[in-house]
Structure 1
Amino acid sequence: MKKIFLWCVSAFLCLSCAENKSALTVTVTNPLATERAGEMVEVSMSEVSDLLKLADTAQIVVLDKEGEQIPYQITYDGKLIFPVTVASGATAAYTIEPGTPAEVDVKACGRQYPERADDMAWENDLVGFRAYGPALQARGEKGFGYDLFTKYNTTEPILEDLYASELNPESWKKVNELRKTDKKAADELVKTFSYHVDHGYGMDCYAVGPTLGAGVAALMVNDTIIYPWCYKTGEVLDNGPLRFTVKLDFNPLTVKGDTTVVETRVITLDAGSHLNRTAVSYTSLKETMPVVTGIVLHEPDGAVTTSAEGGYMTYVDPTTGPDNGKILMGAAFPADVKSMKTVLFSPEEKKMRNNADGHVLAVSDYEPGSEYVYYWGFAWDKADIKTPEAWNRYMADFAQRLRNPLKVEIK
């Protein structure tokens, strides 16, 4: 099992005794009439250090009300994050104090895969994702959208194994030799190691093509989407155990004749969540413009639920291949959304989009110099959320939590 030790900086603790606090209390209040379980909260690590008078080499622990350690992570931007559970309309208290942290399982992680055309792929204990990279674009492939990896029967990282199996050169050598004499047998051999086949813990059974895929945001001019293609450069900022964060920069877009507009995305996936937080910004944009979040439709009359007022939308995707179940897609929005709608492709565009049928779109405005923040992700009906009804409840609750955040006090 992949594990990591939690250290603030290194292995020793130094306190300046007399005037120091020995512990801090973090009080978390839930304003909603529903329980919040496993939700991640953030406090400033610099504030913790100042209040506890910690040296740069200090260690800390985070304790629940029973005095048991809970996992935490210090993020690239100086936040101390940890999961909390707070009953409906209630308050829960957690303690931060000097101590030796316990060993923690990695629940969120990822990396760039140069061996697979520069995929940037990441996962947590529930779901997996990837964004297509510069090597794929160099081949002329239009990998605009996010792709998905389903996951079940395990909470451990699976992407390393999936990629290693899919890309094993010895396996493909055997396939290519066999294809010379028996193509059907060669195809059957591929199924024994491909990540497009479920081997009991997850797979890639989602079709992206030249679309917005699983929830990419894009600017729009006169109802025409400006597709962003693949990312240009990527930097992993957080890599577990509880949060994965990656920054992706893109090649310049052409927006109303301006060829200097550059998109940046910061994508964050926390342990225990089906959805990624994504903050999108555009440099050099001269005016406020519509921005859409899109989920590709693989059926013209597919099961779509939209609630601009509630701040979420969902779609039931049929998946690729037989017997792969349904993928329950969704996006949620902390800020008001102008509209949500289904837009079907014309026959001509359908051919350009690998026979996808359209998008379900959430439409907002992007103001130059701001960030457009939204959440996107999925569930698989072979895993923990089995029905569209349960998924819609999850998404509605998630949106309500975004709009009614936990209140966190430290003293």
Structure 2
Amino acid sequence: MKSIALYSCVAAISLMMSCESKTKEATLITVKNSLELPRQFETVEISKSAIHLNEGERFENLVIRDKATQTIVPSQFVDEDQDGTADVLLFQPKVDSKSEKQYELVVEEGQTKQEDTAYCYSRFVPERTDDYAWENNKVAFRTYGPVAQKMVEDSVAGGTLSSGIDAWLKKVEYPIINKWYAANDKDPGFYHIDHGEGLDNFHVGSSRGVGGTAVKVDTSYYISKNFTDYKTITTGPIRTSFVLEYADWDANGNKITETKHISLDYGSNFSKFEIEVTGTDVLSVGLTLHDKKGEITEQVQNGWISYWESQYFDSELGTAIVAANKADMVASDYYLTSMPDRSNLYTQLKVHNNKAVYYAGFAWKESGQYSTKAAWEKHLNTFSKKVNTPLEVSIQ
């Protein structure tokens, strides 16, 4: 599979280079928040090409330091183009409402080892057919590969034919993917039961799950089959990201090509989906309706849709899609059909230059995050404001 660079950025970065870059002074990073909301758990990307390195300095030796407290903050290097060297340095600033904060980019030899637990983690899972699974400290997801598809097509038990996105409901902050798969390998069905950390009781089938894609032609929705290939880009304390490839698929005579660039950052309930797509000017993104007894909320003007379930589960669950640019969310559709798993709450997103960008995620009441529909929807409004008003970052 060819190398693919992920073009993901939660913060908008404006770069100002110093004329005095030959000095040994720290590079100053100023992060400005223009909203009347405090900001945290939003990832800033510092590109290697945007800074000056003095002779003998290595990008991978840089650390981020809070200028006011002089403490090192967690960061993560990413090799986006997969050429063997890091291209980007990630960190998550904390900025009060309507204010700015300064950080320093410094070379610090012998610094205290940073927290390197891969809270943001993803991998291909061949021991469970061929899932691809990902998680952070709040949520977990998975989707399905070509072996699972072929098993269904060959009438072999245990397969899954779906490009939908599954939700794993976790209520602990530490990583659980490897633990649950290992336990399930010894005791089939293990992760379908809550042993104190959460469980997978979210049915996907051929639905869109939480953020699966489709193309609408006239009044019908057309979907792809399972992913055909994958590439893991990074895992770490701040972000995991990867790429899923799909075979060309047909939407009522229209040839659709699709590649999904997916990332999940620390502290967020939402995976970010950057979809490369041809064959359509509008991409549909869906939330499964399960037994159709949940409550829908369509806030197209604010750039999000949501589905709240209180009867399908023993607990309650909210799912949502949020547009990276709310102006790109042009419609929603409460789509009901007698076909199994095909009833979904859809949103329609504009495709610009063969690309559509959105966030999809969920909150489970038992996780203790957003225990009511009102609390969940308040968070959606806040989250949408933040992604539509990125932090302003300058480098001096």
Range class of TM-score, shorter chain: 0.7 to 0.9
- Equivalent of 2:63 in 61, 64, 67: 61
Query: Is the counterpart of residue 137 in structure 1 residue 149 in structure 2?
Result: yes
Q: Give distance in 1, aligned partners of 2:276 and 2:112.
A: 37
Please show how residues 226-265 of structure 1 align to structure 2 within 5 Å: 226-259=222-255, 261-265=256-260
Query: Is the counterpart of residue 329 in structure 1 residue 329 in structure 2?
Result: no
Match of 1:197 in 2: 193
Match of 1:272 in 2: 267
Query: Is the counterpart of residue 102 in structure 1 residue 97 in structure 2?
Result: no
Please show how residues 206-225 of structure 1 align to structure 2 within 5 Å: 206-225=202-221
Match of 1:180 in 2: none
Change beyond 3 A, Cα 1:338–1:328: same
Query: Is the counterpart of residue 290 in structure 1 residue 282 in structure 2?
Result: yes
Please show how residues 336-355 of structure 1 align to structure 2 within 5 Å: 336=327, 337-345=329-337, 347=338, 349=339, 352-353=340-341
Displacement after TM superposition at 1:320 (Å): 5.7
Displacement after TM superposition at 1:106 (Å): 2.2
- Equivalent of 1:281 in 264, 276, 279: 276
Change beyond 3 A, Cα 1:103–1:219: same
Task: Check the 8 A contact 1:219/1:289 in 2, yes or no.
Answer: no
Match of 1:30 in 2: 33
Q: Give distance in 2, aligned partners of 1:264 and 1:195.
A: 29
Task: Check the 8 A contact 2:293/2:311 in 1, yes or no.
Answer: no
What is the letter of the counterpart of residue 276 of structure 1? S
Task: Check the 8 A contact 1:290/1:363 in 2, yes or no.
Answer: yes
Query: Is the counterpart of residue 92 in structure 1 residue 101 in structure 2?
Result: yes
What is the letter of the counterpart of residue 143 of structure 1? S
Task: Check the 8 A contact 1:21/1:53 in 2, yes or no.
Answer: no
Displacement after TM superposition at 1:109 (Å): 0.6
Displacement after TM superposition at 1:282 (Å): 1.9
Displacement after TM superposition at 1:248 (Å): 0.3
Displacement after TM superposition at 1:380 (Å): 0.8
Displacement after TM superposition at 1:256 (Å): 4.1
Q: Give distance in 2, aligned partners of 1:264 and 1:91.
A: 37
Match of 1:307 in 2: 299
- Equivalent of 1:161 in 158, 176, 179: 179
Q: Give distance in 2, aligned partners of 1:54 and 1:201.
A: 47
- Equivalent of 2:45 in 42, 56, 77: 42
Task: Check the 8 A contact 2:245/2:260 in 1, yes or no.
Answer: yes
Displacement after TM superposition at 1:102 (Å): 2.1
Displacement after TM superposition at 1:151 (Å): 1.2
What is the letter of the counterpart of residue 257 of structure 2? V
Match of 1:126 in 2: 138
Change beyond 3 A, Cα 1:296–1:55: same
Residue range with higher mean Cα deviation, 327-336 or 264-273: 327-336
Task: Check the 8 A contact 1:107/1:241 in 2, yes or no.
Answer: yes
Query: Is the counterpart of residue 387 in structure 1 residue 387 in structure 2?
Result: no
Match of 2:128 in 1: 116
What is the letter of the counterpart of residue 375 of structure 1? Y
Displacement after TM superposition at 1:301 (Å): 4.3
Q: Give distance in 1, aligned partners of 2:254 and 2:362.
A: 35
TM-score, normalisation: structure 1: 0.82
Encode CA deviations 1:224-273: one digit per residue, 9 max, x unaligned: 211112100011011112111010000111134355x3210000000110
Encode CA deviations 1:140-188: one digit per residue, 9 max, x unaligned: 2322310011111x321111010011111xx45xxxxxxxxxxxxxxxx
What is the DSSP-based 3-state SS (H/G/I as helix, E as strand, rest coil) of the residue aligned with 2:149? helix
What is the letter of the counterpart of residue 127 of structure 1? V
Q: Give distance in 1, aligned partners of 2:292 and 2:137.
A: 32
What is the letter of the counterpart of residue 294 of structure 2? G
Task: Check the 8 A contact 1:60/1:97 in 2, yes or no.
Answer: yes
What is the letter of the counterpart of residue 79 of structure 1? V
Match of 1:375 in 2: 359
Match of 1:19 in 2: 22
Encode CA deviations 1:348-378: one digit per residue, 9 max, x unaligned: x2xx33xx6x2111112335x4210000011
Q: Give distance in 2, aligned partners of 1:20 and 1:264.
A: 43
Change beyond 3 A, Cα 1:319–1:41: farther
TM-score, normalisation: structure 2: 0.85
Displacement after TM superposition at 1:57 (Å): 7.0
Q: Give distance in 1, aligned partners of 2:323 and 2:310.
A: 24
Task: Check the 8 A contact 1:281/1:370 in 2, yes or no.
Answer: yes
5+ unaligned residues in a row in structure 2: which ranges? Answer: 1-20, 81-86, 153-159
Match of 2:77 in 1: 74
Task: Check the 8 A contact 1:281/1:371 in 2, yes or no.
Answer: yes
Encode CA deviations 1:18-68: one digit per residue, 9 max, x unaligned: 9333311110011111111232111212323x2555534751221122111
Match of 1:175 in 2: none
RMSD: 2.0
Q: Give distance in 1, aligned partners of 2:306 and 2:283.
A: 18
Q: Give distance in 2, aligned partners of 1:29 and 1:293.
A: 32
Q: Give distance in 1, aligned partners of 2:119 and 2:372.
A: 25
Q: Count matched residues.
A: 356
What is the letter of the counterpart of residue 236 of structure 1? T
Q: Give distance in 2, aligned partners of 1:120 and 1:132.
A: 6
Q: Give distance in 2, aligned partners of 1:58 and 1:251.
A: 37
What is the DSSP-based 3-state SS (H/G/I as helix, E as strand, rest coil) of the residue aligned with 1:145? coil
